[in-house]
Amino acid sequence: MEPLRLGIAGLGTVGAGLVSVVQNNAALLRSRCGRDVQIVAVNARDRARDRGVDLSDYRWVDDARDLIGADDIDVVVELIGGEDGIALELVEGALKAGQHVVTANKALLAVHGTRLAQAADTTGVHVGFEAAVAGGIPIIKGLREGLAGNRITRLYGILNGTSNYIMTAMRDDGSPFDEVLAEAQRLGYAEADPALDIGGGDAAHKLAILASLAFGRPVDFDNVHVEGIQAITPMDIEFAREFGFCVKLLGIAQVSEHGVEQRVHPCMIPQTGPIAPVDGVFNAVVVEGDAVDVATFIGRGAGAGPTASAVVADIVDIARGLRLPFYNVPVSDLVSTPHAPIERRHGAYYIRLMVIDRPGVIAEVSAILRDEDISVESLLQRGRDPEEVVPLVMTTHEADEDAMLRALERFGDLDAVSETPLTIRIEDL
């Protein structure tokens, strides 16, 4: 059988890792694919940079778009990144030219996934994107293949290793957010500009992709509710522990009576839950289906090895002749189910108010909660001296999100409240 010929655009950490795997595991890949897997051409911005792998046998192209339609390239591997620009031109051009595509680009798929799926359907080629979500965890294959017979009702998980590392370190060391972030950057767990990670955008890209696969609907990134972890303090993590919870940045997608919820935000979850022990840079995804009940996937969410492993898994599928629709169904069969806004959420909450410790404060707070029909389950106030600013912390029974938002706004108007009120949603996961 003829070899499967690759053109790789992008030779960063993942690209170099992919080259290493293909070179070092050539015999293994041949035995598992029934044919050779060969790298034919590569592209990156800096030809002179030492990437720790031998590139001398491959054709170098200065413009990634030169891979499009090349007669000696069966699969275009896009590892450039970014939702637009060269990455979009390359992937869309390759699909229209009838070339298979493998990509790790979650932003591209979250924003343009439906459009790219239509192009793949038209030419009958395969798009592999296992590496776009949760690194080395085979969650895309899990949804596309292993759980294909299930009606998925909910999926949730830890989709960003940087944020999970920061939350874990804050819990273990008691260090403030800024110090832990700086350490994560020093260790290479966080980018120089960490906004996408700590702000929730990276997890939101991944959640939009998973929700489309799980629920058979067009990708809907614009309607993912996104909050980051910047406001969380070691104090909140310690209070969570006292209440029997841990704090995680989660992506949650589920079908409710109001439509499909897609939200990324910090959550308090029970310490006994399936993903509560998942710490550090690890990711986890839990899928709930009508036949399987619950399936949990845990593994490394980033890094050269895990992500390159996921890229190779897609390449092996193509070498074996696997051809799956982008979303498991043709684009024409996708259903535009309604979007459920965050304001329709109904659940429990953690609230922290930094208040001046003087008589009457609890009465003022209680009056606001009464007016908004919010019932308190637990309450802690740790005052020491009159007029000192202290935390007033409570958890609530289930309440409506819009009522909680109104209450938070009113809390902020109280003279005794010295900082912006903080709330964390409690999820029974």
CA dist., res. 275 & res. 299, Å (int): 11
Positions annotated as catalytic residues are: 206
Of the candidates 51, 172, 100, 167, which has an alpha carbon nearest to the alpha carbon of residue 324? 100
CA distance 382 to 355: 10
**Which residue's entry shows tokens 């031109």?**
89
Q: Is 363 helix (H, G, I), strand (E, B) or coil?
A: helix
- HEC-encoded secondary structure of 315-341: HHHHHCCCCCCCCCCCHHHCCCCCECC
> Phi and psi for 168 in degrees, rounded to 5?
-65, -45
Tell me the CA distances in angstroms from 70 to 40, 74, 75, 123, 222, one per residue in order: 10, 8, 10, 16, 35
Give Rg (Cα) of the chain.
24
DSSP 67-128: GTT-TT-SEEEE----SSHHHHHHHHHHHHTT-EEEE--HHHHHHHHHHHHHHHHHHT--EE
User: For the chain, what's the residue count?
Assistant: 429
Q: Angle at CA 385, nearest 5°, toward 423 and 359?
A: 65
Report in angstroms the alpha-carbon separations of 357 from 56, 242, 394, 418. Answer: 70, 21, 16, 11
- Three-point CA angle 280, 281, 282, nearest 5°: 95
Q: Please name the helix (run of DSSP H) or strand (run of DSSP E) that holds residue 296, with its range, or none.
A: strand 293-300
Two tokens, residue 42: 């590569």
Which strand ranges, in their side-by-side order, compose the sheet holding 127-128? 59-60, 37-43, 4-9, 75-78, 100-103, 127-128
**What is the end-to-end Cα distance of the chain in Å, rounded?**
49
Q: Return the sign of the alpha-carbon dihedral for residues 343, 246, 192, 303.
A: negative
